[in-house]
């Protein structure tokens, strides 16, 4: 097989792959139209801890770490800060709209070694399980410095206990 034919075959396979990914993402968006947009941070809530720098991993369906929530940009990884406030947890996302996980909607918090496409050492990702409308979801955050993970989890646990 000569070179031009090989290049054409590779280009067609690449194009088909991109089309399949686009079709899959669009289909996932359509199937999740019942998932409401998360709340936006509002004036009047006060931080109870210093912001923690790191990466927003993703939001997935609770208990299904490979089922990304695609709507409202929740499935796209980005750099972020997590801010624990008296009203809940703010995900301050770089280049995207921030969102608030209201205190009353947080079900649990723990750590995990992986979520959709991001796998790290044991306990390296803070996983917050919360109610987004009628849907139970997990939101993952990876702190830039490992020493920030445990205090973040403890602060969120204290918030859950106070809300009960």
Note the pTM of the prediction, 2 decimals.
Answer: 0.80
pLDDT value of residue 136: 92
pLDDT value of residue 4: 83
Contacts 24+ apart (CB under 8 A), 61-65: 61/135, 61/136, 61/137, 61/138, 62/107, 62/129, 62/136, 62/137, 62/138, 63/136, 63/138, 65/112, 65/114, 65/115, 65/116, 65/138
pLDDT in tens, the chain (164 residues): 688 888 888 988 888 888 887 787 677 666 666 778 888 888 788 888 899 999 999 999 898 888 888 788 888 899 999 999 988 999 999 988 899 999 999 999 999 988 887 788 888 999 999 999 888 999 999 999 999 999 999 999 998 887 66
Report the alpha-carbon distance of residue 41 to residue 63 in Å, rounded: 26
pLDDT value of residue 25: 66
pLDDT value of residue 1: 63
């Amino acid at each position: 097989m000569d070179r031009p034919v090989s290049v054409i075959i590779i280009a067609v396979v690449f194009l088909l792959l991109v089309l399949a990914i686009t079709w899959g993402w669009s289909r996932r968006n359509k199937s999740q139209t019942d998932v409401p947009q998360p709340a936006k941070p509002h004036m009047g809530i006060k931080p109870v801890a210093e912001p923690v720098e790191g990466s927003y991993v993703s939001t997935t369906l609770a208990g299904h770490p490979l089922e990304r929530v695609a709507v409202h940009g929740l499935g796209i990884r980005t750099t972020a800060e997590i801010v624990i406030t008296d009203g809940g947890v703010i995900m301050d996302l770089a280049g995207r709209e921030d969102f608030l996980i209201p205190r009353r909607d947080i079900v649990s918090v723990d750590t995990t070694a992986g979520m959709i496409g991001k796998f790290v050492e044991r306990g390296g990702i803070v996983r917050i399980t919360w109610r987004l409308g009628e849907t139970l979801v997990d939101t993952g955050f990876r702190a830039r410095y490992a020493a920030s993970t445990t205090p973040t989890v403890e602060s969120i646990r204290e918030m859950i206990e106070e809300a009960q």
